[in-house]
Amino acid sequence: MEVPRLGHSISSPTSPCETMVKNLSLEAIQLCEREGNKSQDSGIAEMEELPVPQNIKINNITCDSFKISWDMDPKSKERITHYFIDLNKKENKNSNKFKHKDVPTKLVAKAVPLPMTVRGHWFLSPRTEYTVAVQTASKQSDGDYAVSEWSEIIEFCTADYSPVHLTQLLEKAEVIAGRMLKFSLFYRNQHKEYFDKARVQQGNKMMPSVKDNSGSHGSPISGKLEGIFFSCNTEFNTGKAPQDSPYGRYRFEVQAEVLFNQKTNLYFGDLYCMYTAYHYVILVLAPSGSPGDEFCKQRLPQLNIADNKFLTCTEEDGRLVFHHAQDVILEVIYTDPLDLSLGTVAEISGHQLRSLSTVNAKKDPSCKICNISVGR
C-alpha cells in the first residue's frame, strides 16, 4: 500500500505500516511530524474545502483505548472517506519513560460512524497524558487526498489498569510464587529519625502515607492509596527476617496476627521487576470497613486470606498460622495507622543495601513474566 502524502498537514512519510487497529477500520501509518501551515504539495488534490471537525469529545477512556467523536456539517459527510487522527503523548517531567518507541501515533481511519474507538497498547500507555487533533479527508481517484484544516487540539489522560488487567497480572504472579513458608512477624525498616518522629509528633503512631510510583505504570494504587509498607519474607535457611535492609538500620517488628486476621481483607496490588531475575508482588492488608478497604474493593482483586498463592492466615489447633510465598518478594501495604506499642523497635546488625530499594522503582517493560498486553 502506498502511503498518502498529506502536504499541508503531515510531511512525507518515512515508511508505511499497515497495522489495523482493533475495533476500527484504522490503518496505523508511521508518519512524520505535522507541519503547522498549509503547503502547496502536489500530492493534495484541489477541491472544495472539507469541514473541520468541531467540538471534539473524548470519553470511555481506558488504559489503552478511548472513544472519539466530533460535530461536522452533515452536507459534507458524503465527500469524506477518511479521518486523520494525530495522537501525541503530552511531554512533561512525569511522562511515562517506558512508552513504546517507533510506533505509529498518526492514524488514518476510514470514515466510520461516530463515536469510534481508538485502541492499541502499542501506542497508548496507562495513566499518561495525550493530545489529539483530527482532519477530515477525501481520497481521490488518483490515490491522493484532499484534507481539511486540523481541528483544535484536545488533551486527555488514559486510565489506570482495571480489575480485569490486574487479574491478568495476578494470574502471572501465581505461576511464579513458589511454595509457602511459615512466618510469624511483619517488619518495617526505617531510619531512627522516622521512629523518633512517630513517637514525638504522631502520638506514638506510624501513619499511612501515599504510595510512591514504584511498580506497573498503570497501577491504580500508585500515588493514591495510603498505607504503611511492611515486609514478611524470611530467609530459607534460618526462617527469620534478613538482617540487611535498603531502608534503614532500625526495624519495627509486630506479630503477624496484629495486622492479618479474620477481620482483615487481603488484595492483590501489583507484580513487577526491576530488570532482575526476581519479582515483587504488592499486597494490601486493609481492616474490614476501613477507608483503605473501601478504596481497594473498587479497584483490586480480593484474595481469600486462607487460600491464595502469596500470603495466608489459617487456624490450626485454635491459633493463627501464617505462610508467605518463597519465590517472590512481598511488599505488604497496611492501610491503617499503627501504634508502636504493638511491636518493638530495634537496630539491626546487617547492612543498609540502598541498591535494593524499590522506592519509585520503574518496572522493566520488556519482561515477559510480569507484563500483560496493555500499556506498561
Residue that has been written with the C-alpha cell 531510619 in this structure? 191
Is the bond preceding 4 in cis, omega lying within 30 degrees of 0?
no
For the stretch 181-209, pLDDT in tens is 999 999 999 999 999 999 999 999 999 99
For the stretch 123-178, pLDDT in tens is 788 989 999 999 999 998 888 889 999 999 999 999 999 989 999 999 999 999 99
For residues 202 and 190, the answer to whether their CB atoms sit within 8 Å is no
What local confidence, expressed as pLDDT, does residue 351 receive? 58
Decide if pLDDT at 324 tops 80: yes
For the stretch 298-307, pLDDT in tens is 999 999 999 9
Would you place residue 92 in the very low, low, confident or very high pLDDT band (cuts 50, 70, 90)?
Answer: low
Q: What is 54-158's CATH number, 2.60.40.10, 3.30.1490.20, 2.60.40.420, 3.40.50.2030?
A: 2.60.40.10
Distance CA 241, CA 346 (A): 13
Distance CA 312, CA 182 (A): 9
Distance CA 230, CA 313 (A): 16
Distance CA 267, CA 213 (A): 18
For residues 374 and 100, the answer to whether their CB atoms sit within 8 Å is no
Distance CA 220, CA 310 (A): 20
SS3 string, the chain, reads: CCCCCECCCECCCCCCCCEEECCCCEEECCCCCECCCCCCCCCECCCCCCCCCEEEEEECCCCCEEEEEEECCHHHHHHCCEEEEEEEECCCCCCCCCCCCCCCCEEEEECCCCCEEEECCCCCCCCCEEEEEEEEEEECCCCCEEECCCCCCEEEECCCCCHHHHHHHHHHHHHHCCCEEEECEEEEEECHHHHHHHHHHCCCEECCEECCCCECCCCCCCCCCEEEEEECCCCCCCCCCCCCECCCCEEEEEEHHHHCCCCEEEEEEEEECCCCCCCEEEEEEEECCCHHHHHHHCCCCEECCCCCCCEEEEEECCEEEEEEECCCEEEEEECCCEEHHHCEEEECCCCECHHHCCCCCECCCCCCCCCCCCCC
Q: What is the percent of the chain where pLDDT is above 70?
A: 79
Q: Give the C-alpha distances (Å, rounded to integers) separating 14 from 29, 83, 110, 148, 193.
A: 10, 20, 21, 22, 57
**How much is the CA Rg of the chain, to the nearest whole Å?**
26
Please give the backbone phi and psi of residue 170, each rounded to the nearest 5 degrees, phi first: -55, -45
For the stretch 217-236, pLDDT in tens is 899 999 999 999 999 998 77
- Burial string for 93-106 (b: 16+ CB within 10 Å, else e) reads eeebeebeeeebbb
Residue range 95-119: mean pLDDT, rounded: 69
Average pLDDT, the chain: 82
What local confidence, expressed as pLDDT, does residue 105 receive? 64
Residues of the chain with CATH 2.60.40.10: 54-158
Would you place residue 54 in the very low, low, confident or very high pLDDT band (cuts 50, 70, 90)?
Answer: very high
What local confidence, expressed as pLDDT, does residue 175 receive? 96
Which residue type is seen at 238?
Answer: T
Decide if pLDDT at 376 tops 70: no
Residue that has been written with the C-alpha cell 500507555 in this structure? 125
pTM: 0.78
Please, what sign has the CA dihedral across residues 94, 100, 106, 109? negative
Please give the backbone phi and psi of residue 362, each rounded to the nearest 5 degrees, phi first: -95, 140
Q: What is the percent of the chain where pLDDT is above 90?
A: 57
